[in-house]
Amino acid sequence: MLEAMKWEIIHIHNEPDSSLEVHTVEVLVSNIEPKLANSIVRQLNQLCPLDNLRHVKRVQRRTSQGKVELSVILCLADEHEKDTEAVPIGIQPFIRAYNLCPIRTKVAKYPARSKEEWEEQCKIWPTSFHPSTNCDGVATLSDEDMKMIFHYMKVAIQQTKLCYSGAKVLNAAVIVDPVSRKVIASANDQTHPLLTTSEPSARYGCIDRCVATTVPPESHPNTAGSNQDTTLQKFSLRRCSDIFAGVSCLNPWDWAAQELGKQNSLVKRENKFTWHPLRHAALVAIENAAERDRKLFPNSDVSESKSEALDVLLHTTDKCPSKRQKIEEQIIDKEVSDNLKHTEIMRPYLCTGFDIYLVWEPCPMCAMALVHQRIRRIFYALPNPNIGALGSVYKLQAEKSLNHHYSVFRISVPEQDIEELILNTSDNTSQC
Amino acid sequence: MAQETGHSLAELRFMELALEQARLALEKLEVPVGCVVVKDGEVISSGSNHTSATRNATRHAEMEAIDTLLEEWQKIGFNQLEVADRLSECDLYVTCEPCIMCATALSILGIRKVFYGCANDKFGGCGSILSLHEIAKKLPRGALPGKGFECKGGVMADEAVALFRCFYEQGNPNGNKLSSLLPFVLQNLIDQFASVNPLDKFLFHLIKITSTPSIRLVAV
């Protein structure tokens, strides 16, 4: 039945919403003799490589009155230096040797992402432009991929359990290995105390209250809760948005203002906390994935002896000949390959290569946690207008300084599908 | 990011304790960041980075110290309001500027003030990259109150940086056993402290492929 509905994937680009005005960097440039250009550029590439500015061309070429004029980037300018023409000591002899006169100018800090942007950049200093291969976009997803993505989003939505303290909906997170198409870990928010789920009143209390407060009496003749089926059908996402108040990423500060549940009826979770302000679904899922990693790839005796081998190796390389090192290496290689044969899977580095499905767009804490854990792609269904970090309020995927960047997609799910998926969960969790 | 030069004796004393935690992390081959939580002039919790051993890259010093504290308070039987009240009287001393994740977390918890050592220009959440200690200003009208917290950076920053350098250059200053976590430690190190340089990545892969445990290779 779900195949008939229109689900869509929207790629949320990782481009900062800002112009060239903000994203430039200062460099020192100098006019040079065209005859000497080759040798100067070669030497400069060694003396002062422009590592983080590979998109910037080293030489600018202009023609004025039929004469070719070349200027070259010497090095990055020191931002804190007041003297605008101050040159780093390392290249001072070079400057003197070629009798250059350095001046400051600005170049684009980041590679251009569009032809228009590139043309804009070249007005201040020439850059190179490689049309994006669009490898992260939706266009490259196969039908098979889409099916898998929709499937796991359904799994996540079905996990937004209704049964819990105050009986509100929780955010859910599912970490998936897209290669093996297996669930690595999953979790719900654990910011609020969990109540026993056996009492039906606790399970459906939210919907009862919700319908009672938001649906006009005439459209809802039955007493709230008297007939569960009718109550469930009347449940509507739009009208009952207050049931989302318990979603941790939507209201991260809500934990302290929570109605105090009866402490004795609390369900003891498997971990050491009955509630925890920071245990948002994504963070708990990461924890579960890390636990799985530790269990699947423990530091067994093998690796212990390996570590000893490494230790010996490290302490002996100085005085021992390379022969010993070679032997040690062979031992280690064998152990590593044995270990690999044994488990038949490469141990992943954190969550490298894995995707995460979240029903709600994460807050900055969760979004940054997913950067730390090296998640490859994030899929979320509902935006987080309060404090969403992946497009709504912040755009973490566009922060160039971060050491890892994931791709972010929003899956547009028809409202009625979400309602149905959430409601079916409380009756039948085994479905799907 | 507040960069002040004058630090009170108490600030230096607590930061020294945070540095002590960072040194403990270094001994365990973890990224050397440490912190202490202070309430009424007393250290009530402490923590250090624990990302390598747990294989959970979110186990930063701040998260470790907070978990210890919450576990203790829940054992005593404090409810949410009582915990929130106490947290609003707590200050945190951490050797490195809290990252975007931890800065948000500290705001969620409603901590009073954060003192940090060196700035974190890759993913600092208290002014370097984002300003999440002032998150309240960014929230839409009518949203729940995020109080934000005061921040003071540059407290014994040189000592904090020296520890990073120690980790980076020596890797294993106390001659501890190198565990099989070595490649992960290296990746951590390269990701966090080396510039995003293809050569570094190449070096790491080389190490990973050959399993050559020469941490000195990286230092070169």
Q: Report pLDDT digits (tens) over B104-163.
A: 999 999 999 999 999 998 899 999 999 999 876 666 555 556 678 999 999 999 999 999
Residues from chain A contacting residue B100 (CB–CB below 8 Å): 364-365, 367-368, 371, 396
Give chain A's radius of gyration (CA, Å).
29
pLDDT score for A94: 87
User: What does the mean pLDDT of chain B come to?
Assistant: 80
Q: Which of A52, A276, A294 sits opposite B70 (nearest CB)?
A: A276
Ranges of chain A whose pLDDT falls below 50: 1-3, 18, 133-135, 165, 196-235, 239, 261-264, 300-325, 339-344, 426-432
Q: Which residues of B carry out catalysis?
A: 62
pLDDT score for A358: 97
- Give the Cα separation of A57 and A379 in Å (integer): 37
Q: Which of A253, A258, A394 sits opposite B146 (nearest CB)?
A: A253
CB B119 within 8 A of CB B153: yes
Q: Which of A297-301, A311-315, B15-19, B167-171 has the lowest mean pLDDT?
A: A311-315
Please give the ipTM for the structure prediction.
Answer: 0.79
Measure in Å the smallest separation between the Cα of B212 and chain A Cα atoms: 7
- Give the Cα separation of B100 and A425 in Å (integer): 34
Question: Which of A 48-67 lie inside 8 A of B, CB atoms?
Answer: 51-52
Tell me the backbone φ, ψ of residue A243, rounded to 5 degrees.
-75, -10
Structure tokens at A83: 């003297």
pLDDT score for B130: 92
pLDDT score for A78: 77
Q: Which residue has the higher pLDDT, A154 or B210?
A: A154
B193-213 mean pLDDT: 42
- Give the Cα separation of A422 and A162 in Å (integer): 8
Interchain proximity A349–B187, CB inside 8 Å: yes
Interchain proximity B100–A299, CB inside 8 Å: no
Residues 6+ apart with CB under 8 A from B40: B89
pLDDT in tens, A325-373: 455 555 555 555 554 444 445 567 889 899 999 999 999 999 999 999 9
Coil vs helix vs strand at A201: helix
Question: Which of A 362-401 lie inside 8 A of B, CB atoms?
Answer: 363-369, 371-374, 385-387, 393-394, 396, 399, 401
- Give the Cα separation of A120 and A329 in Å (integer): 53
* CB-based burial label for A322 (10 Å; 0-12, 13-18, 19+): exposed
Nearest CA among A247, A248, A244, A245 for reference residue A236: A244
pLDDT score for A215: 34
Residues from chain A contacting residue B103 (CB–CB below 8 Å): 364
Quick one: DSSP state of residue A4?
A: G
- Give the Cα separation of B159 and A366 in Å (integer): 30
Relative to beta strand A67-76, strand A59-64 is antiparallel
pLDDT score for A357: 98
- Give the Cα separation of A242 and A246 in Å (integer): 8
State whether residue A273 sits within 8 Å of chain B by CB.
yes
State whether residue A219 sits within 8 Å of chain B by CB.
no
Interchain proximity A278–B63, CB inside 8 Å: yes
Q: Which of A316, A368, A397 to mutate to test the interface with B (most CBs of B within 10 A)?
A: A368
Residues 6+ apart with CB under 8 A from A182: A176
- Give the Cα separation of B147 and B137 in Å (integer): 9
